[in-house]
């Protein structure tokens, strides 16, 4: 897929409506297309791209789970991009991406979840855990992972980690997130 074609698909996604639905079908069906769209989105994200980044991460995670693939650079890029939006409600999405394969379990950094806001993530996951609903077990395990990361010192230099992550995954955001 050419960069120009992926750029057109990204524009279609951002446009919404029927054209976005058609673009979603193309993107969901092809790993190379997803990777290029993820890369372009990361390099040109706007505050209004949060839902789009979440959708792409859900699709990439679901496909890795379905095909049993090892890992994908697109998944790591999308985890970093979703984390950049700093919404504690994305904690389970990042947790599920981490859990997709044994490689992603080792490759997704706990600092990405911390970027969502430690206090907010703890409150959100604790609420889910205590509600005893379908997500309670996942929330409890994700919360344990977060606490373990803190005990291990992973959060000692979060600003430095975030700068590295943005550079590593080519994340550029126009406007506040």
* Band (70; pLDDT cuts 50, 70, 90): confident
Q: Is the pLDDT of residue 39 over 80?
A: yes
Residue 82 falls within a domain, yes or no? yes
R_g of the chain computed on alpha carbons:
16
For 102, counting Cβ atoms within 10 Å of its Cβ (0-12 exposed, 13-18 middle, 19+ buried), the class is: exposed
pLDDT classification of 173: cutoffs 50, 70, 90: confident
Q: Is the pLDDT of residue 177 over 70?
A: no
Residue 176 lies in a domain: no
Domain membership flag for residue 98: yes
Of 176 and 45, which is predicted with more confidence? 45
Record the pTM: 0.94
Kindly report the average pLDDT of the chain as a whole number: 94
The pLDDT tens digits for 6-19 are 999 999 999 999 99
Q: Is residue 174 part of a domain?
A: no
Domain boundaries, position 92: 3-168
In sequence order, the 6+-apart residues with CB closer than 8 A to the CB of 26 are 9, 33
Question: Is 175 inside a domain boundary?
Answer: no
Task: Classify residue 173: in a domain, yes or no.
Answer: no
For residue 40 the two structure tokens come to 């372009």
User: Residue 4 — very low, low, confident or very high, per pLDDT cuts 50/70/90?
Assistant: confident
- Structural domains in the chain (count): 1
């Amino acid at each position: 897929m050419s960069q120009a074609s992926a750029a057109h698909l990204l524009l279609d996604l951002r446009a919404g409506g029927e054209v976005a639905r058609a673009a979603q079908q193309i993107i969901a069906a092809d790993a190379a297309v997803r990777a290029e769209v993820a890369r372009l989105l990361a390099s040109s994200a706007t505050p209004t791209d949060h839902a789009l980044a979440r959708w792409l991460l859900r699709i990439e995670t679901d496909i890795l789970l379905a095909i049993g693939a090892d890992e994908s650079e697109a998944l790591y890029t999308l985890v970093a991009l979703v984390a950049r939006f700093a919404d504690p409600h994305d904690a389970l999405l990042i947790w599920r991406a981490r859990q997709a394969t044994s490689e992603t379990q080792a490759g997704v950094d706990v600092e990405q979840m911390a970027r969502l806001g430690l206090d907010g993530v703890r409150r959100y996951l604790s609420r889910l855990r205590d509600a005893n609903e379908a997500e309670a077990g996942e929330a409890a395990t994700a919360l344990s992972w977060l606490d373990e990361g803190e005990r291990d010192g992973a959060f000692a230099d979060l600003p430095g980690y975030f700068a590295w992550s943005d550079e590593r995954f080519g994340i550029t955001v126009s406007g506040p997130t």
